[in-house]
Amino acid sequence: MPRRNQAKDSGLISTGEAAAVLGTSRQHVVDLCDAGTLPCARVGTHRRIRLADILKFQDGARNAGLLTRDQLRSLWLHQAVANHLLVDPERTLRRARRNLRLLKSAHPRGAAARWLSEWEELLGGPIDDLLQVLTSRSERGCELRQNSPFAGVLTKHERNRVLETFRARAA
């Protein structure tokens, strides 16, 4: 029997499959394995991980407030947006409100509509509340940022700089 089938039969999955479960990149899973944070076995030259270990890690990460790589990247981008909100609140809020109107018309129902309604309340409330959501590591903050009305606040150059720094600094 080929090694791949042996790994499947023993309950082990690939780093790519683990990444799909965790909502991260495959490289992030490899880094977790190499750091000893996520237990893995070697099948030939490949890392294989028990699904139970992935789910345990996911639960622990959720309980500890750890973010996936995608959530962390979004947080970094929204921290840059928060800076714009502090420096030029009127322009930033005007852009967000315009985007929000477009998003609400495109998503009148469902989960996205619920998050967009919450954004509407935040955009009409105190800036401190908005800043808290933009920079929060909470589950609510992560969910809201998935439906962010702040597209276009950062210039292409600013966005690229944040992403370059994120790639260089966020392990």
The CATH number assigned to the domain holding 52 equals: 1.10.1660
Q: Per-residue confidence at 118, pLDDT binned at 50, 70, 90?
A: very high
What percentage of the chain's residues is helix, strand, coil (to nearest 5)?
A: 70, 5, 25
User: Is the same domain home to 58 and 73?
Assistant: no
User: Is the same domain home to 145 and 92?
Assistant: yes
User: Is the same domain home to 85 and 55?
Assistant: no
User: Is the same domain home to 141 and 164?
Assistant: yes
The residue-averaged pLDDT of 141-170 equals 94
Domain count, the chain: 2
Show the domain range for 53: 3-64
Closest of 105, 100, 108, 84 to residue 147, by C-alpha? 100
User: Is the same domain home to 84 and 56?
Assistant: no
Q: How far apart are CA 152 and CA 92, in angstroms?
A: 9
User: Is the same domain home to 110 and 137?
Assistant: yes
C-alpha count within 13 angstroms, C-beta hemisphere, residue 60: 8
User: Is the same domain home to 43 and 86?
Assistant: no
Q: Is the pTM of this model over 0.85?
A: no
User: Is the same domain home to 95 and 57?
Assistant: no
User: Is the same domain home to 60 and 142?
Assistant: no
SS3 category, 40 = coil
Q: Find which of 10-14, 17-21, 41-45, 102-106 is predicted with most confidence, using mean pLDDT.
A: 102-106
Mean pLDDT of the chain: 88
The residue-averaged pLDDT of 86-90 equals 97
User: Is the same domain home to 21 and 74?
Assistant: no
pLDDT digits (tens, 9 = 90+) for 22-35: 877 888 888 889 88
Q: How far apart are CA 30 and CA 44, in angstroms?
A: 15
User: Is the same domain home to 75 and 15?
Assistant: no
SS3 category, 80 = helix
Written as six digits, the tokens of 149 are 């009305």
Percentage of the chain modeled with pLDDT above 70: 90
Closest of 27, 70, 83, 98 to residue 166, by C-alpha? 70
